[in-house]
Amino acid sequence: MFSGTRQIRKPQRLLLEVMGLCLSRIQGIAPSAGIIYCGLECAATTVRFTSNLRAAEELVDEVTRMQQGDASPKLLLNPHCPACEFRRQCHAQAVKEDTLSLLRGLKEKEVKRYGRKGLFTLTQLAHTFRPRRKGRRSNRRSSHRYHALQALAIRDKRVYVMGAPEVPNGAVRIYLDVESNPDEGFVYLVGMIVYDSCGETRYSFWADSKDQEREIFDQMVAVVARYEDALVFCYGGYERSFVKRMRRQAARKRPVAKLL
Ligand code: SF4
């Protein structure tokens, strides 16, 4: 099988196994593995199949039952929905069923985990929310995501804020954003906005290939290193993991450690 992406994910493995199953039904011999050629370089990766192609058998059985009208697929809203032609119907059905997948970012695994606890609807999940008491000595801010609080907000149609947000302030503030292409597996753009006593300065460093990634990383570190006490802001953990990844190959570790 050929795949345009560099990484092989579970659906691709399963699809390959289903192809193996189709072949086995024609040839009478079940293959034990298949090969996926990935990315532009067509790098070959061998994928081992489950014994007796069990995973593919189960999938094909399930699809056959759905096709015959004996089963219907479980509705699970997912990141692909905004681009899907059925999004309105599915969203309306999800609202009607009060399904947990209305919570953005809740993965299938987590939906199943809540299901095992007997929580199948947003209303049920909303009832489980209990704000944690803050310890007297604790001054750490939790970044924990409370699905139950999200469910409560949706149920009550209100915005809840867990404590007052505290954003640190300083003479020099740097806002950092990096963009990557997951298929190509490298960061191609580092964007920065620096506020200091002179005003606002914008930077954008581009990499046309993976070989140039280190170069734009060094440019970014050089900008931050100009300031003694800069505060660096970014949204989410991606920028941090990028810096951590590049730290291994950085010639000068100190400015990178400071940035982290
Ligand atoms: S809108 Fe419905 S059919 Fe389309 S991806 Fe989402 S859940 Fe699947």
Give residue 150's region: left, alpha or beta (phi > 0; psi -120 to 50).
Answer: alpha
The residue contributing the CA closest to ligand 1 atom 7 is 77
Ranges in the chain, pLDDT < 50 = none
192 and 223 in contact (C-beta within 8 Å)?
A: yes
Q: Which atom of ligand 1 is nearest to the CA of 75?
A: 7
pLDDT of residue 222: 92
Q: What is the pLDDT of residues 129-139, one digit of tens each?
A: 987 776 665 55
* First and final C-alpha spacing in the chain: 41
The residue contributing the CA closest to ligand 1 atom 2 is 90
Task: Output the CA 96–ligand 1 centroid distance in Å.
Answer: 15
Q: Which atom of ligand 1 is nearest to the CA of 86?
A: 1
Task: Output the CA 81–ligand 1 centroid distance in Å.
Answer: 5
Domain positions in the chain? 2-68, 74-130+145-162, 172-259
CA distance linking residue 197 with residue 207, whole number of Å: 30
160 and 224 in contact (C-beta within 8 Å)?
A: no
Report the 10 Å Cβ neighbour count for 178. Answer: 21
Q: What lines the ligand 1 site, CB under 6 Å?
A: 77-78, 80-81, 84, 86-87, 90
Q: Using only C-alpha atoms, what is the Rg of the chain?
A: 25
Task: Output the CA 226–ligand 1 centroid distance in Å.
Answer: 49
Q: Could you tell me the CA-to-CA distances from 160 to 108, 150, 171, 235 in Å, in that order?
A: 25, 8, 31, 20
CA-nearest of 185, 211, 212, 245 to 6 is 185
Task: Output the CA 143–ligand 1 centroid distance in Å.
Answer: 30
Q: Which atom of ligand 1 is nearest to the CA of 76?
A: 7
